[in-house]
Structure 1
Amino acid sequence: MTEYQSADGPVTGYAPPRPSAVWISALRKVYGEGDAAVHALRGVDLDIPHGDYVAVMGASGSGKSTLMNIVGCLDVPSSGEYRLDGIAIADLDERQLSLVRNRKIGFVFQSFNLLARTTAFENVELPLVYGAVRGPQRRRRALAALHLVGLGDRVDHHPNQLSGGQQQRVAIARALVTAPSLVLADEPTGNLDTQSSSEVMSLFDRLNAAGRTIVLITHEEDIAAHAKRAVRLVDGLIVQDVRFAPVDGLPPRLATAGAGRPAAPSLALGPGA
């Protein structure tokens, strides 16, 4: 039996619903003042439950990068409310924000952002170093993350010894190693060829099918077609929010292929593990 504490005392038999991975209300972001003010976001409402797979789309200047930066706790809104896994981000100080970024969000960037002079293993291990995870645990979790993305045989390779697709898979392993509640990917296939893009998106599909919540920015329709849901921004407003597959279902490409649900990744390690 599950037990939780209510206002009237302990209750058994069921658990309260988990907060959304991302919950945003009336979010606005303004850069500058007066006539020079730029309204990047103009009142965005967005609810992303755990297990969802969302593509955020829009032309340059639409506000998608600003939205991603706020969701990733890299920027703060001018007004509105943002809750990450139930946490009111506006209530956190800089130290707490740093902890949230390290433990609850995994980042994947278009340019990979790998350290050139360190191995794949050392790149993946880095968030755990910042998180003060002990050495043996760091090694176990970094190796598990690299095996998860199919690079268990490349742990000692430096970025310049890896293809673009392999470098992006190292970046994905680094994003997953802290077992975050949310993976944010900013144009993750922007620097990849067609074959590598397909491999990376197939990995995202399998990760989501195993329960990972993924939000990615893209301007490519074929990349967005991998997601369960597409949100389109124009001039700082959401103008379209279309669902292609249920939150608890398979991503569209896996469902179309008739694939079964894969086993959950062997990386179910919390920050304190």
Structure 2
Amino acid sequence: MTPGHPVLDVQALTKVYGHGDTAVHALRGVSLRVERGDYVAIMGASGSGKSTLMNIIGCLDVPTGGRYLLDGTDVGALDERRLSILRNRRIGFIFQSFNLIPRMSALANVELPLAYGGIRPAERRRRAQAALRQVGLADRMDHEPNELSGGQQQRVAVARALVTAPALLLADEPTGNLDTRSTADVLAILDQLSLSGRTIVLITHEDEVAARAKRVIRLVDGEIIEDRRQSRVDGPPPAASLAGGVR
């Protein structure tokens, strides 16, 4: 991590799909800064531009115009190889559909980003085990995804996102496929991670999920129409389970 820099610094981003009369302006000059330790929910209806913004923040797409710095690094100045390294080391992704590898244990799934990063097997295992303990799955490490509930699968995905100690956790509708109980469990983990100082950007269309964040950004037609701090109605649970963390 780069002390002194915001984790995200997005400056006048535009994104245009197509040309001429058929051009679609998905983002229209979006600017925002996310400081270290912030917990931000980005909201918007279908077609608002929130998915486009998420893809650019996650270094999965490039803007048509504007500038994006991730943890002090100008993303637009990187070639594909360096961009891939940045994405693997600085961003932890949590997807709605979990994106776990079938026929691989929870532990092996969590180790994957470290394997891509060239971490030695013993260290990979140690860090993956610590991440799974952190999300309450110490007794499920050897289970494959089809042996886990939806909520447990999403917790494996959270552990995988954490294991590289990224600058940013980027969660795309992380509770969209979960029942009420599992949703509460996953949101409680995000609360705890926020309390421990993690920087989280959460994409959601659900007011109840956004209410857990410290800050809500609302997009309409590719523009930010609201950016507000909010007070939590219910205080987040204690962070005792994060003692030691993942390093």
TM-score bracket for this pair, using the shorter chain length? over 0.9
Gaps of at least 5 residues in structure 2 are none
Identical pairs, percent: 61
Partner of 1:9: none
Please state whether the residue corresponding to 1:240 is helix, strand or coil.
strand
Are 1:23 and 2:9 matched, yes or no? yes
Are 1:132 and 2:98 matched, yes or no? no
Are 1:40 and 2:26 matched, yes or no? yes
Work out which of the residue numbers 187, 212, 216 in structure 2 matches 1:230: 216
**CA displacement, residues 137-158 of structure 1 (integer Å, 9 cap, x when unaligned):** 0010000000000001100001
Please state whether the residue corresponding to 1:41 is helix, strand or coil.
strand
With structure 2 as the length reference, what TM-score do the two structures score?
0.96
Partner of 1:68: 54
Partner of 2:133: 147
Gaps of at least 5 residues in structure 1 are 1-15, 246-251
With structure 1 as the length reference, what TM-score do the two structures score?
0.87
Displacement, 1:262? 4.4
Displacement, 1:36? 1.0
Partner of 1:122: 108
Indicate if the aligned counterparts of 1:179 and 1:268 stay in contact, CA closer than 8 A.
yes
Partner of 2:172: 186
Q: Which amino acid aligns with 1:266?
A: G
Displacement, 1:244? 1.0
Partner of 1:171: 157
Displacement, 1:267? 3.8
Work out which of the residue numbers 101, 104, 107 in structure 1 matches 2:90: 104
CA separation of 1:79/1:204 partners in 2, compared to 1, >3 Å: closer, same or farther?
Answer: same
- How far, CA to CA, are the matches of 2:173 and 2:159 in structure 1? 16
CA separation of 1:60/1:229 partners in 2, compared to 1, >3 Å: closer, same or farther?
Answer: same
- After superposition, the CA RMSD in angstroms is 1.5
- How far, CA to CA, are the matches of 2:169 and 2:75 in structure 1? 17
Q: Which amino acid aligns with 2:69?
A: R
Residues matched between the structures, number: 246
Displacement, 1:258? 7.6
Partner of 2:201: 215
- How far, CA to CA, are the matches of 1:258 and 1:163 in structure 2? 24
Partner of 2:65: 79
- How far, CA to CA, are the matches of 2:153 and 2:176 in structure 1? 13
- How far, CA to CA, are the matches of 1:47 and 1:89 in structure 2? 15
Displacement, 1:260? 5.3
Indicate if the aligned counterparts of 1:141 and 1:267 stay in contact, CA closer than 8 A.
no
Displacement, 1:18? 1.2
Partner of 1:266: 244
Indicate if the aligned counterparts of 1:20 and 1:86 stay in contact, CA closer than 8 A.
yes
- How far, CA to CA, are the matches of 2:245 and 2:47 in structure 1? 37
Q: Which amino acid aligns with 1:137?
A: E
Please state whether the residue corresponding to 1:227 is helix, strand or coil.
coil
**RCO comparison, higher one (Cα < 8 Å, 6+):** 2
Work out which of the residue numbers 70, 74, 78 in structure 2 matches 1:88: 74
Partner of 1:244: 230
CA separation of 1:151/1:261 partners in 2, compared to 1, >3 Å: closer, same or farther?
Answer: closer
Consecutive aligned runs of 4 or more in structure 1 exceeding 2 Å deviation: 256-269
CA separation of 1:102/1:206 partners in 2, compared to 1, >3 Å: closer, same or farther?
Answer: same
